[in-house]
Structure 1
Amino acid sequence: MSVYPESSVVVNQQVPNMYPAPMTTTVVLQQPQQAPGKLVCSREGHRGWSSGMFACGDDVTNCCLAVFCQELVLMDISRRTGENVCVTCCVPGGLLAIRARLRTLGGIQGSICEDYLSLSCCYLCALCQMQRELDSMGL
């Protein structure tokens, strides 16, 4: 006669592994480096803007936001380009830097001078263009 009742018998119970799997270690003796004097990408960019400066009618929602809620649009553009949301309002020339960053991220042709003129002469249109470009890029 058994001391244990039949209901307490455990069949096919797997014992958990108490020891972790062996670990492998990779030692990097020399960091990979870029060849001296080599650019990662072209300086000029490989494409133009996805929409023109005055294509505000193509996206009326962003146009209205730029007119009535400029601060929100500026914060959104900063966030979507990977910058701090305060850059455009607290850093002198911050929006110019954000526009240049957007051109670099998207491989868009242009120059700082063109960015400056766009923002100085057609501020709201430039904001709308940047929003449309970010939408086009999926950011």
Structure 2
Amino acid sequence: MYPNNPAPVPNPPACAVPAGQWTTGLCDCFDDPGNCCITFCCPCVTFGQNAEVIDKGTTSCGVAGFIYYALANIGCSCLYTFSYRSKLRGLYSLQEAPCGDLLIHCCCLSCALCQEYRELKNRGVDPSIGWQANAEKWNRTGGGGIVMAPIVAPGMAR
């Protein structure tokens, strides 16, 4: 039901984040020590969580994490992961900084995954609970400005 939901990933209040700016730096991994440790030990988990939210549930955390793991074993996971950084930048109109997405993912993959995870969290998304749980939370709370049509059960018609 939720993977086809056209609801966008929510945006923060207008004054909270300057337009086009990342909320944290690439090397601010220890701003979220828990995620930093998970990403260092098992980056496929962080990537899977990010990918599920960025793809709005069309790619599951498990599938994305497995693909990452398989590609990491042959040394080319960055060729897959960088596209999700590009998608995230598109969602929030973020600048491609400090350099191109592919170069960042090839040289600083763990830092990039942590930054992307923090970016989602700072903008009102909790990647650790997945897309569906976030969508349900937004439906209950009003979604931080997202307006969604109510789900109406089919009834008797005349």
Please give the range of the TM-score, normalised by the shorter of the 2 chains: 0.5 to 0.7
Structure 1 residues 15-94: aligned runs within 5 Å: 46-81=19-54, 82=56, 83-85=58-60, 86-87=63-64, 89=67, 93-94=79-80
Post-superposition CA distance 1:103-133 (Å, at most 9, x none): 000110117x611111111111011001000
Confirm or deny that 1:104 pairs with 2:75: no
The structural deviation recorded for 1:94 is: 2.6
Structure 1 residues 113-124: aligned runs within 5 Å: 114-124=100-110
Quick one: which of 90, 102, 119 aligns to 1:133?
A: 119
Residue identity matched to 1:77: N
The structural deviation recorded for 1:62 is: 0.8
- Does the Cα contact within 8 Å between 1:87 and 1:95 map onto a contact in 2? no
**Contiguous gaps of at least 5 residues in structure 1:** 1-45
- RMSD over aligned Cα atoms: 2.1
Name the count of aligned residue pairs.
93
Residue identity matched to 1:95: T
**Contiguous gaps of at least 5 residues in structure 2:** 1-18, 72-76, 126-158
CA distance in 1, matches of 2:49, 2:88: 13
Over alpha carbons, which structure has the higher Rg? Answer: 1
The percent identity for this pair of structures is 30
